[in-house]
Amino acid sequence: MSHAAVAPVLVIHGGAGVIRHDMTPAKEKAIRLAMTEALRRGHAELKAGKSAVDAVTAALVVLEDDPNFNAGKGAVFTHDGKNELDAAIMDGSTLAAGAVAGVRRVRNPILLARAVMEHSPYVMLSGDGAETFAKEQGIALVDPSYFRTEERWQQLQKALKEDAAKRPHVDVETAKHFGTVGAVALDAQGHLAAGTSTGGMNDKRWGRIGDSPVIGAGTYANDGCAVSGTGWGEFYLRTVAAYEICMKVTQMRIPLKRAAAEVINQEIPSMGGNGGAIALDAQGQISIPFNTDGMYRGWIGADGVPHVAIYGDEDDGTAELPEPAPADSTKPL
């Protein structure tokens, strides 16, 4: 697919499942500031003529370093009281991808995922092996205590009490608080990229890995579409959600907003799951569907103005963006 010059766009999320009554004014302010900074950092890469991969990476590092999100510094705890981190990144122009799962000492998992993509013959590395590769690549490692926050520790204690009371292991209220972070970008060359980073599910057991690091499930990009998901990972895995959205767009010629809504707001809920996603196409069209109380989300376009929203009834500005003209089905993608 050849691209004419396009206006760069960056879209980010900090997770679906926001519950308004759990939000303090101070926390809301901190989250909005972090989302704004992530947008500005990523957009600076695009403005400098750098790649969509560079923009995605820059934005996600900001969110991984902020304790308000379930990724990096603010990751949730496993049942055993540890932090296990997952991340993935994909370059839509080449279909190159890298991912890591179950790492415990990597400060910025998205940087390691990118190193896997660019400097290894593999797509996904996990656990101790991934950390050995991180050392070889000069990726920053930290003591596991770096990831601990009191808020996440208390969330685990609540979940452990529910376990002891023999309540269902995956309680719906806990499952809503994923906080996974993600980004999708379109650069000036018309290339797309997607990335996702997460601490996974609170109180997860047995080395559970969700959709975020799985290419096609929580993260996917090709030459016409980029998606990062956030939600109940088991359902995104079973529907191969990110890939399905992009196939609807690039193969079936379904408009981006409709394609994303069909998967996120119809197919996944019909199976009992919930969550959201950010999606971006090669024309710069944005879709941010979600079916939870809220979703940390934001985008920035050619004018360099960050748009950030949290709650379901809050305008994020994307509703005003026009749909692109119908594609000419006689022209090859």
Our answer to whether residue 180 is catalytic in this structure is yes
Structure-token pair, residue 53: 């991969």
In angstroms, how far is the first alpha carbon of the chain from the final one?
5
The owner of tokens 């290419």 is 215
Q: Which of 180, 196, 239, 250 is catalytic?
A: 180
> For residue 144, what is the DSSP state?
G
The owner of tokens 């394609």 is 259
Query: What is the spatial distance between Cα 211 and Cα 9, in angstroms, rounded to a whole number?
Result: 24
Phi then psi dihedrals of residue 329, to 5 deg: -65, -10
Q: How many Cα neighbours within 13 Å face the side chain of 80? A: 8
Query: What is the spatial distance between Cα 106 and Cα 115, in angstroms, rounded to a whole number?
Result: 12
110 backbone φψ class: left, alpha, beta (φ>0; ψ -120 to 50): alpha
Closest to 36 in 3D by CA, of 318, 304, 287, 293: 304
Query: What is the spatial distance between Cα 62 and Cα 111, in angstroms, rounded to a whole number?
Result: 12
Q: Which helix (H) or strand (E) element contains residue 39?
A: helix 25-47
Give the residue numbers annotated as catalytic, written as ranges: 180
